[in-house]
Structure 1
Amino acid sequence: MAPPRISAAESVIMEALWARGPLGAEEIVAEVAPGQGWGEATVRTLIARLIKKGAAASERTGARVVYAPRVSREAYVTAESQGLLDRLFGGQVAPLVAHFTRTTTLSSEDRARLRRLLDDLDAEEGE
């Protein structure tokens, strides 16, 4: 089953949960609200949306409610990446890479990493 669609704002909450979860609402507010210019109500609304979507879960521990991710970051990144690839590049990786090489300055380190990745893929195919 594919992970639920997570908006850009919701992904800020999820990043906090992936990095430090489980967290209480107050901890999430303290971590993400200042950098986003959000109030407590906005953060709580985003948490509620994530729970409704099944991306996060709440659990009562004593008098405290904590929130934890139900979707791994890896599953989210995979789904989002595939969605981007499908929507913009017909599911093909080469046009995506070509686009970024034309529109972004790749450092020599970036180019070397791409070469190593391709070499590793070629080596795997040869096994």
Structure 2
Amino acid sequence: MKDIPQISNAEWEVMRILWDKAPIKAAEVIKTLQETKDWKPKTIKTLIRRLLDKGVIGHTANGNAYVYHVLIEEKEYLDRETDTFLNKLYQGSIRHFMLNFVQEKELSREEVAELIKILENSKR
């Protein structure tokens, strides 16, 4: 897995929009985020700049605006974050994670059945 920079929770919110809607202009990112966040346009532009600096997104000129696109796919980032999470909290053990998860969470019969199906299908 290639080296993927960490992104903050706020940057994650911008990435969610980019993964969903890219290519997209900054004005559209701002409009979309302001529907759910009380963030100023300058704050959002700063987050976009940070993501550019980290090499997670790129841009192309379109007249007097930039159009942003992702350089790291969502699945690739999620895989890295999952590995980081498992290594940090469970010494890389999916077994320990799953044991903790099923012992601490109340699961419905449907959720249990779905987990069993997933586990059965993941046998190699």
TM-score bin (small chain):
over 0.9
Q: Encode CA deviations 1:21-69: one digit per residue, 9 max, x unaligned.
A: 1111110011012312111111001000000000011110223211111
Taking only aligned residues, the RMSD between alpha carbons, in angstroms, comes to: 1.2
TM-score (norm 2): 0.93
Distance in 1, matches of 2:54 and 2:91, equals 27
The corresponding residue for 1:17 is 18
The corresponding residue for 1:83 is 84
Letter in 1 for 2:11: E
Contact 1:86 1:92 in 2 (8 A): yes
1:4-83 alignment, distance < 5 Å = 4-83=5-84
Identity of paired residues, percent? 28
The worse-fitting range, judged by mean Cα deviation, of 8-17 and 31-40 is 31-40
The corresponding residue for 1:102 is 103
Divergent runs of 4+, >3 A: none
Distance in 1, matches of 2:89 and 2:38, equals 31
Q: Encode CA deviations 1:54-111: one digit per residue, 9 max, x unaligned.
A: 0011110223211111110000100000000000000000111122212222122221
Task: Tell me, yes or no, if structure 1 residue 93 matches structure 2 residue 77.
Answer: no
Shift of the 116–58 alpha-carbon distance from structure 1 to 2, 3 Å rule, reads same
Letter in 2 for 1:88: L
The worse-fitting range, judged by mean Cα deviation, of 41-50 and 1-10 is 1-10
Distance in 2, matches of 1:107 and 1:51, equals 42
Task: Tell me, yes or no, if structure 1 residue 112 matches structure 2 residue 113.
Answer: yes
Match of 2:106, SS? coil
Contact 1:33 1:43 in 2 (8 A): no
Residue segments in structure 2 that go unaligned for 5+ positions in a row: none
More helix by share: 1
TM-score (norm 1): 0.91
Contact 1:21 1:67 in 2 (8 A): yes
Q: How many pairs align? A: 123
Residue segments in structure 1 that go unaligned for 5+ positions in a row: none
